[in-house]
Structure 1
Amino acid sequence: MFPVIYSDEFLLHDTGDFHPENAGRLTAIRAALKSAPWANQLEWKSPTPVEARSPLPLMQLIHDRRYLEQVRLLANRGGGYIDGDTIICPRSFEVAMLAVNAWIDGVETAIASGEPCFVIARPPGHHAVADEGMGFCLFSNAAIAAYAALAQGLERVCILDWDVHHGNGTQAIVETNPKIRFCSLHESPQYPGTGHSSETGLHQNVLNLPIAPGSTIEDYQPLFEQKVIPFLSEFQPDLLIISAGYDANHADPLSGISLKPENYQLFTQYCLGVTRRIVFGLEGGYDYPTLGRSVVATIGACLQS
């Protein structure tokens, strides 16, 4: 059985129907997975409730306490905007904390089984820096998950971000830690304007691969084979965390890259060659049909390998 960590509570982060990062994204993924030919091989697991395990101690290792309090108070007051793109609603703080718990559960699941799992949660996190949310993101889920893995006793953790946008928040948080390697493939120029190839981290633990608009799988494949997989493999990670954004698809409204959903099957196969202990966690992806098909391609590759 393939573990999928999900809760309907993630739909309660209400950004509105016209915001790109809305609850319909998860509804589309769930529908696609339930209609997949191997749907009976999925084990749907609820994340650990915040009441049962508060993620705050780990979050406070990553985020400024004043920022955490700012998000909590804004939600309690009925919501508002952190920036022009990033919305807080009355339930956002608790839902975002549950999303953090889901990513931590993903880490624990992968460690225990030695096999991959997928976290279908929102809000996303890879743009959130220590003291500020941005780009639809509230808390830095992937970075928190990496620190959770180290707290579990792992020595080496890799994060691969294949979202079309650079994971500026994740990089800013982990680039000082020699036990974590971060690799990002992202369209450039594109929001948030970071992720230059010259950025290598304090311990040569960062690899940024900017990709030109209009690029296809023919451009991605050699990067995976010649740069991404060697960078990850030589570190011999105990765990691989993937910021699985699917907005590099040709149909996605927020990017200029031209991947197809089936390309993520190939990406996943490459990653399984590094380790089978993988946590896939949802980031971007805003065209419902291709988003659902891309997640199906990812999990399908895991089941077929």
Structure 2
Amino acid sequence: MVSDRVPVIYSDRFLAHETGAGHPERPERLTATVAHLRSQPWRNQLDWRSPTTLEERSPLPWIVACHSHHYLETVYQLSERGGGLLDPDTPCSPASYDVALLAVNAWLDGIDLLLQQEVSAAFALTRPPGHHALATHGMGFCLFGNAAIAARYALAQGLTKVAIVDWDVHHGNGTQALIDHQPAIAYVSLHQSPAYPGTGSVTETGLYDNVCNLPLPPGSDGQDYRQCFKQSVLPFLQSWQPQLLIVSAGYDAAAADPLANMRLQPADYGDLTRQLRSLQVPILFGLEGGYDLTALAASVAETIAACLEPLP
């Protein structure tokens, strides 16, 4: 029985990943979003869930399905030594290793809720983000590839086809690299081009034609995204026929975002969510980017509000 509630998987522990003064990927991204969600008229339809603790479930077996043991040890040792940089943009603080593990557990919890058919949508409100993380190193604010790890986990629970939709403004080079050799996982990315990290060409299609990159020019707005969804994203997914969707829900294509040059408004994310829900498959949304606090909070709220509507 699918409920009319949306689980939001969140922990204050995610605030302990410290990135330093002036870094755009900061704890306030979550506190602002949580406060905004708790002010909504539909707030009583939110099912706040704490992620499974590291004592209850170690996510390490699922992480090492995507990342090397050496990289995992690198992140652990860097945190143990008091922190440092994985790359010039990607800091690691004393708590970052454990926080990143807990974030993975939150995404896995979302998969569990969907597979138990308790809900048709769930939202993992986590940090650090993950879609730039490669098998052997972190980059672009990202430590572990949450979306790719969650997709591998879903397959291990008995699904045969999973798709990841990435609407973050930056191409998820890490996610693509972690899944392009996986015939049961599809990856679709809409992203600004040119932009960081410089990947995501339409010619990158994966080893099994399971990758669909849709680069969009700077200045693209909600109408451009809706048209791209209708003409490219939905047909690709309909042909793929996934049993479950994972959305790398970055909100840095917002017009107010300081790190990109797109023109989406918060309501546009509600429209994109409705289009994905029309596929009638369970959807896990997991937070990636989004660095203007007001736009981020409003956009997450629009996504969740669309999930509270009756299925089309």
Q: Sort the TM-score into its range (normalised by shorter chain).
A: over 0.9
The residue identity in structure 2 corresponding to 1:31 is A
Instruction: Give the Å deviation of 1:235.
Output: 1.4
Whether the aligned pair in 2 keeps the contact of 1:237 and 1:275 (CA below 8 Å) is no
Residue of structure 2 in register with 1:52 after alignment: 56
1:93 aligns with 2:97: yes
Q: What's the CA shift string for 1:120-177, capped at 9, x where partnerless? A: 0000000001001000000000000000000100000000000000000000010111
RMSD: 0.7
CA distance in 2, matches of 1:61, 1:304: 36
Residue of structure 2 in register with 1:213 after alignment: 218
1:190 aligns with 2:195: yes
Instruction: Give the Å deviation of 1:276.
Output: 3.8
Residue of structure 2 in register with 1:15 after alignment: 19
Instruction: Please point out which of 249, 255, 269 is paired with 1:264.
Output: 269
Whether the aligned pair in 1 keeps the contact of 2:168 and 2:190 (CA below 8 Å) is yes
Q: What's the CA shift string for 1:89-108, capped at 9, x where partnerless? A: 00000000000000000111
CA distance in 1, matches of 2:83, 2:216: 36
Instruction: Give the Å deviation of 1:201.
Output: 0.5
Residue of structure 2 in register with 1:171 after alignment: 176
The residue identity in structure 2 corresponding to 1:51 is E
CA distance in 1, matches of 2:238, 2:303: 20
Instruction: Please point out which of 128, 134, 146 is paired with 2:133.
Output: 128
Q: What's the CA shift string for 1:238-285, capped at 9, x where partnerless? A: 110000000000000000001101000100000001134000000000
Residue of structure 1 in register with 2:31 after alignment: 27
CA distance in 2, matches of 1:88, 1:48: 22
Instruction: Please point out which of 199, 203, 210 is paired with 2:204.
Output: 199
CA distance in 1, matches of 2:67, 2:184: 19
The normalised TM-score by structure 1 is 0.99
1:77 aligns with 2:51: no
CA distance in 1, matches of 2:94, 2:45: 36
Whether the aligned pair in 1 keeps the contact of 2:243 and 2:281 (CA below 8 Å) is no
Whether the aligned pair in 1 keeps the contact of 2:166 and 2:250 (CA below 8 Å) is yes
1:275 aligns with 2:280: yes
The residue identity in structure 1 corresponding to 2:30 is L
Instruction: Please point out which of 285, 293, 296 is paired with 2:290.
Output: 285
The residue identity in structure 2 corresponding to 1:156 is K
Residue of structure 2 in register with 1:250 after alignment: 255
CA distance in 2, matches of 1:136, 1:10: 14
Q: What's the CA shift string for 1:21-72, capped at 9, x where partnerless? A: 0100000110110011100110100000011100001111100100000000
- Which deviates the most, 154-163 or 226-235? 226-235
Residue of structure 2 in register with 1:222 after alignment: 227
Residue of structure 1 in register with 2:111 after alignment: 107
CA distance in 1, matches of 2:238, 2:300: 24
Q: What's the CA shift string for 1:187-213, capped at 9, x where partnerless? A: 000000000000000110000000000
CA distance in 1, matches of 2:112, 2:240: 21
Whether the aligned pair in 1 keeps the contact of 2:14 and 2:127 (CA below 8 Å) is yes
CA distance in 1, matches of 2:275, 2:48: 25
Matched length: 305
The normalised TM-score by structure 2 is 0.97
The residue identity in structure 2 corresponding to 1:92 is S
- Which deviates the most, 107-116 or 2-11? 107-116
CA distance in 1, matches of 2:164, 2:171: 13
The residue identity in structure 2 corresponding to 1:302 is C
Residue of structure 1 in register with 2:308 after alignment: 303
- Which deviates the most, 104-113 or 122-131? 104-113
CA distance in 1, matches of 2:100, 2:304: 24
Instruction: Give the Å deviation of 1:17.
Output: 3.8
Residue of structure 1 in register with 2:236 after alignment: 231
The residue identity in structure 2 corresponding to 1:6 is Y
Runs (4+) off by over 3 Å:
none
